[in-house]
Amino acid sequence: MRSHGDPTGGQRRPQQDGVRRRPSDPQARRGPQQRQAGQPQRRQPDRTGAQRRPQQAQAVDPTALVRRRRTNVLFILVVTSACTMFLAATTDSVAMLWAFGLSFIATCGYVYVLAQLREREQVGWNDGWLEQR
């Protein structure tokens, strides 16, 4: 955590070359904006911006991304159904019963759609017959 009164952030700055400079030394009196002509300007990393994720070494298969997305949606639907079922059972609320019914129907519908997609993939539906005239 950074202190408001301490410009160093509460941490001691490292000494250059292990030699402590005297206040009478011209380099010690020099402000942070001044530098000698031969010195390159050092840049500090920007730690306030968003952190980027490291990129993966290999390309991800698009079918694997679709499968992962479908799995995540199914997981969310099942968790929603389980939570609304628990709340409907414990609160005896009619609104929670309706919410459970809707989430359960949505889960069953999504499972049906996934089954249809798998069946189409296995049969080889639309394997280019329309383009072959």
pTM of this prediction? 0.51
Calpha distance 51→32 (Å, rounded): 27
Q: Amino acid identity of 60?
A: V
Nearest residue to 114 via CA among 78, 61, 60: 78
Question: Which of 49-80 are b and which e, b meaning 16 or more Cβ less than 10 Å from the residue's Cβ?
Answer: eeeeeeeeeeeeeeeeeeeeeeeeeeeebeeb
Q: What is the pLDDT of residues 15-48, one digit of tens each?
A: 655 555 565 655 555 555 555 666 666 677 666 7
The two three-digit tokens of residue 72, written as one number: 């995540």
Q: What is the pLDDT of residues 64-98, one digit of tens each?
A: 899 999 999 999 999 999 999 999 999 989 999 99
| Residue partners of 17: CB distance under 8 A and separation at least 6 | none
The answer to whether the beta carbons of residues 81 and 66 sit under 8 Å apart is no
Residue 85: the pLDDT is: 96
Calpha distance 100→84 (Å, rounded): 5
